[in-house]
Structure 1
Amino acid sequence: MSDSSKDPAGQALDTRLAHTGKAPAYFGGSPVNTPLVRASTVLFDSVAAMRETRARRGEERAFSYGARGTPTTFALEDAVSELEGAHRTRLFPTGLAAIGMVLLSYLKPGDHVLMSDSVYEPARNLVHSFLDPYGIRCTFFAADGSGIEELFEPNTRLVYAECPGSLVYEMCDLPKLAELAHSRGALVAADNTWGSGVQYRPLALGADISLMAATKYLSGHSDVMMGTVATTREAWQPLNERCDAFGMTVSPDDAWLVLRGMRTLSARLQMHERHAMEVAHWLEARPEVAAVFCPALPQHPGHELWKRDCRGTNGLVSFELQPGIENAAVERFVDALSLFGRGASWGGYESLVAWANMRAARSVTDWSQRGAVVRLHVGLEAPSDLLRDLDCGFAALGAG
């Protein structure tokens, strides 16, 4: 290498390329948004500094290694904790991963868990694929919480609820569930994806653990996968220790996207709510519809609990078609829609439609004699256009 490739200190170009530009100095203000920090290895000034940081990270959050988080993921954890009213938060690659880690953190072989009949269907599948083989028993209870008192066992360690429920939005009295569970030495975990920390706050209602699929409303743009778990101070350590043991973390790029989405979360939810209520009232007048499911509707079961515990609703509206309408007609309805995309998930800016299999999604409530259920996620499109689209769907439904 020629002398011209070296700086005055005598370092070669290759060395300078490897070590320069890591901490640029600048004069000025601070950025509006949290900077994106990607990191695996974290460097320390001394062995003592590294030892001290690692010794403290069990109780404190420290930037010590990428698997334990970066300043970007820490910022999102703080934002979710603020939203949920929590002590601390951990992040997961998907909402289902968050559910699985809650079960793994608070249950062990020989324990018993009570799970709401209204949970997200993949959570129900975890009972058969994970809990059963590891000797953890599960009993499902009615989505509205009725009769749960008789289902507690001496080894019941966790009550897992989703409120409002998945697909048809059943309400349960979460403070009552929490009181019952705590009096029997059990914790309460609640899936709060529907409420997103804005419309519903389980920790304030007595739950110990609150889960969300940040994939949905927190992100808001259908371009990132993530789950969050926020807890009270008393429930924190089992989750924290198990996450560290399994190396649970998320990409800082994904964390940055969710942080960006959260800035408009409240405003987006208000718009989703306005549009969804217009669609819900329109559906109520359709002769093909037997029932409309939205907890903000006065005739919805649990509406009084919704008024007591929630700050609003979101873009989710489901409806039951009249019994006797054949599956082929339901498929024609779904396929005729052009503004409602056919796809999984919800919570983005766009409208979606899904045909819900309630017979597979419930085991306590009998849906065998009821009509087909269609779930809508009402997005940010103009409601007048969405209603025209739905009208085309109903025309196709009756065309056979």
Structure 2
Amino acid sequence: MSKRGKSTEQIHHAYQPPSGWGAVPVPIYKASTVLFPDTAALHQPRSREKVTYRYGLQGTPSSLTLAARVATLEQAQHCILVPSGLAAITLPSMAMLKPGDEVLLPDNVYGQNRYVTTGLLSRLGITHQFYDPLDAAGFERLLNERTRLVWLEAAGSITMEFPDLLGLLRACKARGVSTAMDNTWGAGMAFNAFELAPGLGVDISMQALTKFASGGADVLMGAVCTRDARLHRRLDEMYEFLGYGVGQNDVEAVLRGLPSLPLRYRAQEAAALELATWMQQQPAVARVLHPALPGSPGHAYWKQVSTGGSSCLFSAVFKPGYCAAQVDAFVDALTCFGIGYSWAGPMSLAVPYDLTHSRDLPLPWSPQEGGTLVRFAIGLEELEDLRADLAQALAVLG
């Protein structure tokens, strides 16, 4: 019988479970401290080429399993998990840029990427320019000897333009400029970001696992994927500098959501496309923005690279005769749509946007063609319930 105290016995308990356990769920390992078998192992430096467990911040068997599965989803070789989609944006910019460099971003870029660039990166002495994602020739004229990174976003997260990815990537490749894509909309389903055409693909693909990968609207997480080992090491070094890490309960939730991602993605995109088509026919609506709809900005570019995927988002631009307060009343009248940011969860969402101060370049429509915009994220409710809800809320507009 041991004479050690009860707490000592609990911390240093000798029991180890027998091997051979197998189950569908991935085991979840929670740890900050990782134990070494001896001091020789302790003194070994961390390897960036192979898996070594040294501290929970650098990953556990659970988080490395999730990273491997997300890499497979993106058709990449390497994946780094970070605590949010915004962290997945910040990591490549911090890793790839230094004072005196310049980064180019599409004018319809996700607002937080714009904020990081104009705020944090500017304070670090990194300049930026915004480009029209539909104008590859104009974009090419912006590239210069200081351009080190180009951000791509397919599609734009509010106005839904689908960029001329092939034209933009050809210009970057000719200049040897690195590219990073916000691939949250595509989620590894709409196209292969690393092989958009023979010999043409992005260097980095990031996405907010908060969205489709989780699917539950209850997790914040991001992923940064690459195929190039040297680029991965560069990202991994910055990842360690920034102290990014993900909680293992969140890892468990995303691992649980990942297998159903293709089913949810296809169901939600099909409902979104049908509702977007229906909204086009409504008298109060000036135009509907959805990459799979003919006439939507960048539709032809979407067809060039898409494997059919078109996500769960669309935006409706209301006719100029309807003021912002009237459109807000329409959104308030919806009962099946929550009012909130994010998307790809089970609940449909609607958010009105004032784009007056969010763009440097003109919008793809004039004030005479359209006014206030509402972005819809379609969830997993019954399609006819959503259609009926939109119809009754449109009646509020008069």
**Normalising by structure 2, what TM-score?**
0.93
- The CA RMSD over aligned residues, in Å, is 1.6
2:233 aligns with: 237
**Aligned match of 2:87 in 76, 93, 97?**
97
1:232 CA drift (Å): 2.2
Deviations 1:377-400 (A, max 9, x none): 1111111111111112111122xx
- Partner Cα separation in structure 1 for residue 372 and residue 76 of structure 2: 39
Whether 1:48 aligns to 2:40 is yes
**Aligned match of 1:35 in 27, 30, 49?**
27
Give the AA of the match of 1:333.
Answer: F
Q: Could you say what secondary structure the match of 1:271 adopts?
A: helix
Matches within 5 A, 1:198-209: 198-205=189-196, 206-209=201-204
1:313 aligns with: 310
**Normalising by structure 1, what TM-score?**
0.93
**Aligned match of 2:210 in 212, 215, 223?**
215
1:153 aligns with: 144
Cα pair 1:117 1:365 within 8 Å, conserved: no
- Partner Cα separation in structure 1 for residue 156 and residue 135 of structure 2: 11
Q: Could you say what secondary structure the match of 1:15 adopts?
A: helix
1:178 CA drift (Å): 2.1
1:24 aligns with: 17
1:182 CA drift (Å): 2.5
Give the AA of the match of 1:221.
Answer: G
Q: Could you say what secondary structure the match of 1:359 adopts?
A: coil
1:145 CA drift (Å): 3.8
Whether 1:141 aligns to 2:120 is no
User: Percent identical across equivalent pairs?
Assistant: 39
Higher radius of gyration, 1 or 2:
1
Deviations 1:143-187 (A, max 9, x none): 224311110111100011101111122112223322211221210
Whether 1:276 aligns to 2:272 is yes
Q: Could you say what secondary structure the match of 2:123 adopts?
A: helix
Give the AA of the match of 1:176.
Answer: G
Cα pair 2:160 2:297 within 8 Å, conserved: no
**Aligned match of 1:108 in 86, 98, 111?**
98
Stretch deviating more after TM superposition (205-214 or 142-151) = 142-151
1:76 aligns with: 66
Cα pair 2:80 2:236 within 8 Å, conserved: yes
Cα pair 1:192 1:200 within 8 Å, conserved: no
Deviations 1:185-238 (A, max 9, x none): 210000000000111322223100111011111100100001111112142122
2:389 aligns with: 389
Give ranges in structure 1 of 5+ residues lacking alignment: 1-6
Whether 1:247 aligns to 2:251 is no
Q: Could you say what secondary structure the match of 2:194 adopts?
A: helix
1:354 aligns with: 351
**Aligned match of 2:165 in 174, 178, 200?**
174
1:4 aligns with: none
- Partner Cα separation in structure 1 for residue 321 and residue 349 of structure 2: 25
1:286 CA drift (Å): 0.3
Q: Could you say what secondary structure the match of 1:319 adopts?
A: strand
- Partner Cα separation in structure 2 for residue 247 and residue 81 of structure 1: 21
2:334 aligns with: 337
Stretch deviating more after TM superposition (233-242 or 214-223) = 233-242
Cα pair 2:46 2:54 within 8 Å, conserved: no
* Runs of 4+, deviation exceeding 3 Å: 9-14
Deviations 1:117-147 (A, max 9, x none): 1210111111221121111110000022431
Cα pair 1:210 1:229 within 8 Å, conserved: yes
Give ranges in structure 2 of 5+ residues lacking alignment: none
- Partner Cα separation in structure 2 for residue 14 and residue 237 of structure 1: 41
Q: Could you say what secondary structure the match of 1:75 adopts?
A: helix
Cα pair 2:77 2:225 within 8 Å, conserved: yes
CA pair 19-143 structure 1, distance change in 2 beyond 3 A: same
What count of residue pairs does the alignment treat as equivalent?
Answer: 388
CA pair 22-105 structure 1, distance change in 2 beyond 3 A: farther
Cα pair 2:149 2:180 within 8 Å, conserved: yes
